[in-house]
Structure 1
Amino acid sequence: MVKPCENEECGKPFIAKRRDTRFCSASCRARAHTLKNRREHLLARSGAGAGGDRVVAPTTPAAARLERRVRGVETALEAARVEAVRGLGELAAELRVGRDQAAETVAELAARFDAEVAAQAKRARAAATEGRRRDVRIREIEAQLLRVTTLLAALEQRLAAMEQAVVVATARLGGPRR
């Protein structure tokens, strides 16, 4: 069951595990308890101070006016504090929304960056594969070139030997020399 947190500083909705759950977390419950105790302490202190002053009635009209003004300032101060606490709750909610939007933006940018890195890695792997294929082809061509060179060298030696044999045979037969 979705319930709003009863801490006036928080107020965010949460999924309650039990029907009597009032706060979204233990820390929120502790903050609400501290806030309640602080408020009771301030009210008791202001009430005790006012009660002590009430025993002695103001003797002059100026003292009575001053007493009313002090009580009015105390009331206004307490109202301003309560309003500030509510404002903090609203501000916290706005900050949560902003943080969530920023998190979504960061997640979107991270996904784009990851996709770009993956595409670059794919291109790099393809280039490496193509480079290996070219290296293999170059080695094959070099091996063929070595075989052809070796064959040509052997043929050149045979040709030189044949020329030598022709020269010797021509010399024996008495033919013209080259």
Structure 2
Amino acid sequence: MNDDSQARETAWKIHAELGSWTSRVDAKASFALTLASAAIAGIIALSAKDHALAHLDGWARFFLWTGTIGILLGGLNAMLVVTPRLRARKARTEAPTNFVYFGHLMHRDPDELATALKETDPLPILSRQLVNTSKIIWAKHRHVQWSFALFATGATLVFLAGVIA
């Protein structure tokens, strides 16, 4: 196998692994969003007229609201992870020189694409796609980190609100 073939094969393996990493981070974000949703539902239920969190004041009330906002922000970060990043504004203009991303492919003519696939070295295109996808996956992982950190901080504050009430 020559160096170019080896490089293309390696790039495709990395591309496949990036898809796996995306799936895993999306699953973590879904879990984080479920935690945040359940916590918010619990806080709402316990804040009803005759329940434990309904009549908090002072620091307990401050901790409850600050914690609730933290949990909501954690949920928002989890939602940012699973929100599709389609790069819709750039996809059409980038399409003539790219054919790895489905957002580019949908703007290509099938006959022209067939010719491009036969005549174009995919390595530079695939390399750009690997870099762009990696940036997206990195951002997704950072949002998941923030989601869990905000949830943990918020849940701790809500717990403290209940303890000092």
Identify the TM-score tier after normalising by the shorter chain.
0.3 to 0.5
For the pair shown, which has the larger CA radius of gyration, 1 or 2?
A: 1
TM value normalised by structure 2: 0.35
> Does 1 or 2 have the higher relative contact order (CA < 8 Å, sep 6+)?
2
TM value normalised by structure 1: 0.33
